[in-house]
Structure 1
């Protein structure tokens, strides 16, 4: 199941690049594509919860919580997808994935700024290893586009902020939501946040250009792949563990890099690329092991909480793990 999740993720990354490529589908509008993904997700979640009633929306959401927590999460999710997908217009899928390895550094630094993380020599050493690896991988890139790098790093910062807001939402607001409930609330908000830039930035270009083409069936498959990725992450966590999900996340990263190198002509991996990315991944693995290591205090209370509210740990990890999407 973990490897299947990695394969789905690789397919999603590749399909987005393929759609945005002017040589293929000829739909170079990342905001519009991301907007379609969020609309599709909103419709599917509404059908699952309200029409077919397969999943029940969990209670606890109020207007105040929605405004103070869900809207910032949705806005950062929209920004993440917008900037991340825009980067594919300028850089390869493999190089974009290498730059994403800097994510733990951004999450840690922002978490420390918000008082959610504690500075330590070990964490600083791990962050340094990841940063050095990403820098080495960037130096090894043959055709580097700084516009694409800026887009990708902007998406990384937005994603880090989204994860911080989710952690604040879960820990301080005390609301526990499963993945479908989270997507039910966040997807429409993200779609609205994307609609505004699309209306002013891309719609005029789409109206002027008559060359773009997006077959409905291809659109459906692309949106479905993105939605299935969210579901596969949820299934990995619910059927196995958070550790398995994090380990398969590393497998996913390598799968995306290697498959994109085999599929796309604009991806040429160099020896320095691979060495730098391997260093960064080693740092990410060390970071995951450090975060998943049980704390010496509070284990008994955590066990009691798990028995009193089974599924809460999974809900927390599931919400945070939605960063794997798109």
Structure 2
């Protein structure tokens, strides 16, 4: 058996052992890559299927109660997280931190903003086509940066500003080219995006580095979102639901609603899995690719009209998105370099 000796330490190294370790490392890398690919495909398929299912239930199936529909997914997510926590399968890391006063000051505002983002995001499907909604989602970086900068949580950077400007122009062009444009739908879409951006900013500002695992996060935050979704349902949907006997629509096809409820939880779990298996940046890029695939499917399967002007605007928005992400990477690289200099006392 071949051996080598380390001259500095006098330690004998078995060459076969080294080769065995290298083989195990390569096998582990292959498993990780395969896991990342499987999770990514599962997330993209589940997320896309949920979009089309919600659109079908809200428009074709006649269940025109968007907040009630998204509350079903939130309810299933909370119930599953509740079972995981109470049975001890998932440990609560921050149980000692949460008091009634702390919950009211920190979690309730996040729950309110989350409910607004989900509720109005679902209402959009009553007014705009699936393909156009996916195009508008490319404007998220512009909205997020505007909110983060206003809150003092992000600095302006030339490349990110350029990316946001290109995204904004592209979104306006795509909106101009929309055949079935709805001002109400557009307003609700922007309300949803701003609510989500403000929620992210509030979370970062108030909770700082406090990180919840997905199950614990759902267990803590889902009740707050459900409470505000309940208020929205009472204010906007309950009277119509009772008058139109909406429960009969659910009873006619309960499997659709059960699927929508549990797919919402599935998307949450798979999102966390993809981010852990890849990175946040990779997930964002895959999100844009998935949106493009949903647009293509909406055109091919459901006949959603897409004009040339819209495609030009959407392509411009995608280009701006990648410029924006490049700028974010540059900012993070500069920050890491600065932190490294401080650590070494330079």
The TM-score normalised by the length of structure 1 is 0.85
Q: 2-side partners of 1:216 and 1:240: how far apart? A: 36
Task: Indicate which of 175, 180, 203 corresponds to 2:210.
Answer: 175
Looking at structure 1, the residues matched to 338 and 75 of structure 2 have their Cα atoms a distance apart, in angstroms, of 43
C-alpha distance in structure 2 between counterparts of 1:300 and 1:113, whole Å? 24
Shift of 1:65: 3.6
What is residue 151 of structure 2 aligned with on the other side?
114
Q: Does the CA-based 8 Å contact 2:166-2:316 persist in structure 1?
A: yes
CA distance in 2, matches of 1:65, 1:274: 47
The partner residue of 2:64 within 25, 28, 32 is 28
Choose the corresponding residue for 1:39, options 38, 63, 75: 75
Shift of 1:170: 4.1
- Distance in structure 2 (CA, Å) of the matches to 1:275 and 1:125: 18
Task: Using the TM superposition, give the Cα deviation of residue 195 of structure 1 relative to its aligned residue in structure 2, in angstroms.
Answer: 0.6
Partner of 1:322: none
114, 137, 162: which one aligns with 1:77? 114
Report the secondary structure of 1:160's partner residue.
helix
Structure 1 CA distance, aligned partners of 2:325 and 2:218? 25
3-state SS, counterpart of residue 334 of structure 2: coil
Q: Who is 2:184 aligned against? A: 147
Give the total of aligned pairs: 298
Per-residue deviation at 1:297? 4.0
Q: Does the 8 Å contact 1:3/1:248 carry over to 2?
A: no
Task: Determine the C-alpha separation between the residues in 1 that align with 2:201 and 2:295.
Answer: 27
Match for 2:260 among 195, 208, 222?
222
2:93 equivalent to 1:58? yes
Aligned equivalents of 1:65, 1:280: Cα separation in 2: 40
Partner of 2:85: 49
Map of 1:92 onto structure 2: 129
Could you state the TM-score of these two structures normalised by the residue count of structure 2?
Answer: 0.81
CA deviation map 1:206-244 (0-9, x unaligned): 111136502222111011111111111111111222232
| Alignment partners' CA distance in 2, 1:54 and 1:256 | 35
Contact 2:71/2:226 (CA < 8 Å) preserved in 1?
yes
> Post-superposition shift, 1:91?
0.6
Rounded Cα–Cα distance in structure 1 between residues aligned with 2:335 and 2:243: 62
Structure 1: give runs of 5+ residues left out of the alignment: 306-326
- Residue 235 of structure 1 corresponds to 273
Contact 2:66/2:119, CA 8 A, preserved across alignment: yes
Contact 1:6–1:251 (CA<8 Å) still a contact in 2?
no
